[in-house]
Chain A
Amino acid sequence: MEYIEFESPIRELEEQLKKTKQLQTETGQDLSRTMREIEKSIISTRKDIQKNLSPWQKVQLSRHPSRPYTLAYIQAITNGNFLELHGDRGVKDDKAMVGGWGIIDGESYMLIGQQKGINTKMRQYRNFGMANPEGYRKALRLMKMAEKFNRPVITFIDTPGAFPGLEAEERGQGEAIARNIYEMCALKVPIICIIIGEGASGGALGIGVGDKVLMLENTWYSVISPESCSSILWRNWDHKEQAAKALKLTAEDMLKNKLVDGIIKEPLGGAHVNPEEIFETVKQTIIKTAAKLLETPKNKLIDSRIKKLSKMGVFDE
Chain B
Amino acid sequence: MGWFKRNKEGITTETKDKKETPEGLWHKCPKCKVIVRQEDHEATFWVCGHCEYHERIDAKEYFSFLFDDGKYQELDSKMRSKDPLEFEDTKKYKERYDSTVKKTGLNDAITTGYGLLHGQAVTIAAMNFSFIGGSMGSVVGEKISRAIQNAVKHKTPFVMISKSGGARMQEAAFSLMQLAKTSAQLTLLSEAGLPYVSILTDPTTGGVTASYAMLGDINIAEPGALIGFAGPRVVKETIGKELPDGFQTSEFVLEHGFLDFIFKRHELKDKLKFFFDCTLQKEETAVAK
Contact = CB atoms under 8 A, between A and B. Distances in A.
Interface of A: 162-166, 168-175, 177-179, 181-182, 185-186, 201-202, 205-206, 208-209, 221-224, 229, 232-234, 239, 242-243, 246-249, 254, 257, 259, 305-306, 309-310, 312-317
A314 B174 contact: yes
A101 to B, nearest CB: 26
A169 to B, nearest CB: 5
Nearest to A221: B173
A163 B228 CA distance: 13
Contacts of B228: 169, 174
Interface stretch (B24-32, B64-72, B212-220): B212-220
A229 to B, nearest CB: 6
21 contacts: A162-B230, A164-B234, A166-B239, A168-B230, A169-B247, A173-B229, A181-B183, A182-B183, A185-B183, A222-B173, A224-B167, A234-B90, A248-B85, A257-B85, A257-B174, A259-B177, A314-B81, A314-B138, A315-B79, A315-B81, A317-B76
A171 B257 CA distance: 8
Given A172-B256, A178-B211, A314-B138, A223 B173 contact: yes
A297 B184 CA distance: 19
A174 B203 CA distance: 14
Contact of B178 (A162, A172, A239, A313): A313
A205 B179 contact: yes
Nearest to A204: B176
Contacts of B80: 315-317
A110 B261 CA distance: 37
A224 B169 CA distance: 7
B27 to A, nearest CB: 31
A257 to B, nearest CB: 7
Contacts of B175: 223
B168 to A, nearest CB: 8
Given A178-B183, A182-B215, A165 B173 contact: no
A181 B213 CA distance: 13
Nearest to A246: B87
Contact of A205 (B79, B82, B145, B176): B176
Interface stretch (B111-119, B185-193, B273-281): B185-193
A166 B174 contact: no
A301 to B, nearest CB: 13
Contacts of B248: 169
B235 A166 contact: yes
Contact of A259 (B79, B174, B213, B258): B174
B135 to A, nearest CB: 10
A223 B229 contact: no
B79 A185 contact: no
B79 A223 contact: no
Nearest to A210: B180
Nearest to A182: B183
10 closest A-B pairs by beta carbon, nearest first, are A174-B209, A164-B230, A313-B138, A174-B229, A314-B84, A233-B89, A177-B210, A173-B229, A202-B210, A312-B177
B52 interface: no
A164 B237 CA distance: 9
B81 to A, nearest CB: 6
Interface in B131-181: 137-139, 141-142, 145, 167, 169, 171-181
B35 interface: no
Contacts of A234: 89-90
B40 interface: no
A233 B92 CA distance: 11
Given A178-B209, A223-B167, A316-B79, A201 B176 contact: yes
A166 B188 CA distance: 34
A243 B212 CA distance: 27
A221 B173 CA distance: 7
A248 B81 CA distance: 17
B249 to A, nearest CB: 11
Most chain B CB neighbours (cut-off 10 Å) among A168, A174, A232, A247 = A174
A138 to B, nearest CB: 17
A317 B213 contact: no
Given A173-B230, A174-B210, A314-B84, A186 B187 contact: yes
A171 B87 CA distance: 35
Contact of A175 (B82, B178, B214): B214
Given A182-B186, A223-B207, A310 B239 contact: no
A172 B214 contact: yes
A172 B209 CA distance: 9
Contacts of A317: 76, 78-80
Contact of A164 (B89, B180, B238): B238
Contact of A174 (B181, B183, B214): B214
A300 to B, nearest CB: 15
Contacts of A232: 169
B188 A306 contact: yes
A298 to B, nearest CB: 14
Given A165-B239, A201-B207, A305 B173 contact: no
